[in-house]
Amino acid sequence: MTTLSVKSYMQHSDATQFNFIGAMARMLYNQPPTPLEATHRVRIACGAPVPVDIYADFERRFHLTVLETYGLSECPMGTSNLAHMRKMGSMGKPARHPDPTLYTRVRLVDDADRDVPVGQVGEVLLRSPALMVGYYREPERTAEAMRGGWFHTGDDARQDEEGFFFFVDRKKDLIRRRGENIASVEIERVLNDHPAVAESAVIPVPAALGEDEIHAYVVLRPGAQTTAEELQAWCAARLARFKMPQSVRFRDTLPKTPTQRVEKYKLREEYASGV
């Protein structure tokens, strides 16, 4: 759904809640303000992510409350914030169905499937009444994802002392550089804040001396211009030196799934092939 159709839907339907995915919040926020954008009955928007820097103003501008949530096609009922219990930037707490007997169980584990302490990063594991039965005609893939009776999401997160979960990155997209684990989404947020950038995707690429180097793919806004050097200088002023992208490549679009998730594996293949 385009940003224009979202606005039209909000203005002309009687819906009081809508769900959004991917970068839709940023796309809506970047549209020129109009007097009509708050003339709707929507009061709750569920989805993620909403960048922290625009979160409060997004709610004020569009006259609604954002409830950030976390879910997957395999398990849409993951975690969620509630109107009376939420924390900006978090995935919320384990989701509950209106039926109190139905709820999601969430664990964060290390590579050996051992639970990690509060505050440490681990892979998100889920059990839920909304969990898939399995991948169609892929029993081995299903067994791997469901080992131990828990669905292994491939996403890394951490939990705070109050029980709120915070998304860190896709497990395979964490970048290991100079002894540090770097979340690609942290670098992407900085790049996306540049006035010329519409969206970006950061991937790890092989380094000559081991570990990873950082490569960024960038899509510019229509009519905008910048250079790789300017974007690297922008990052240098806002990120630790070891988080700096060593290379930047411009694209017209990023490859995405039907639910608007960037298909980073295609970008890794593209980089490896030298295209």
Specify the range with the lowest mean pLDDT, choosing from 144-148, 190-194, 235-239, 254-258: 254-258
Confirm if 126 and 153 have CB atoms less than 8 A apart: yes
The whole model's pTM is what?
Answer: 0.78
Q: Structure tokens of 196?
A: 């010329």
Q: How far apart are CA 176 and CA 180, in angstroms?
A: 6
Domain 97-169, CATH number (from 2.30.38.10, 2.60.40.10, 3.40.109.10, 3.10.20.30): 2.30.38.10
Tell me: pLDDT of 6 over 80: no
Per residue in 168-201, pLDDT (tens digit) is: 988 888 888 877 889 999 999 999 999 999 999 9
Task: Tell me which residue of 251, 91, 94 sits closest to 156, measured CA to CA.
Answer: 91
In percent, the amount of the chain with pLDDT more than 70 equals: 94
DSSP 206-255: E-TTSSEEEEEEEEEPTT----HHHHHHHHHTTS-GGG--SEEEE-S---
| Structure confidence at residue 20 (pLDDT) | 86
Q: Is the pLDDT of residue 217 over 70?
A: yes
Residue entry with tokens 């409830």: 67
Span(s) in the chain for CATH 3.40.50: 1-70
Max mean pLDDT among 29-43, 53-67, 148-162 falls in 148-162
Instruction: State residue 258's pLDDT score.
Output: 79
More confident residue, 160 or 37: 160
Model confidence pLDDT, tens digit, residues 138-173: 999 999 999 999 999 999 999 999 999 999 988 888
Secondary structure (H, E, C), 101-163: CCECEEEEECCCCCECCCCCCEEEEEECCCCCCCCCCCHHHHHHHCHHHCEEEEEEEEECCCC
Kindly report, residue by residue over 106-127, the tens digit of the pLDDT: 999 999 999 999 999 999 999 9
Q: Which of 111, 192, 102, 189 is nearest to 154 (CA)?
A: 111
In this structure, what is the dihedral angle of CA atoms 191, 28, 36, 32, given to the nearest 10 degrees?
30
Q: Say whether domain 1-70 belongs to CATH 3.40.50.
A: yes
Give span(s): CATH 2.30.38.10, the chain: 97-169
pLDDT of residue 58: 93
| Tokens standing for residue 25 | 């919040």
Neighbours of 125 (CB within 10 A): 21
- Joined together, the tokens standing for residue 105 give 């169980």
Instruction: With a cut of 60, say whether residue 13 has pLDDT above it.
Output: yes
Report d(CA 29, CA 23) in Å as an integer. Answer: 10
Stretch(es) of the chain classified as CATH 3.30.300.30: 174-273
C-beta of residue 112 within 8 angstroms of C-beta of residue 103: no
Q: What is the pLDDT of residue 148?
A: 96
pLDDT of res. 1: 47
Check whether domain 174-273 has CATH 3.40.50.2000, yes or no: no
Residue 9 has pLDDT above 70, yes or no: no
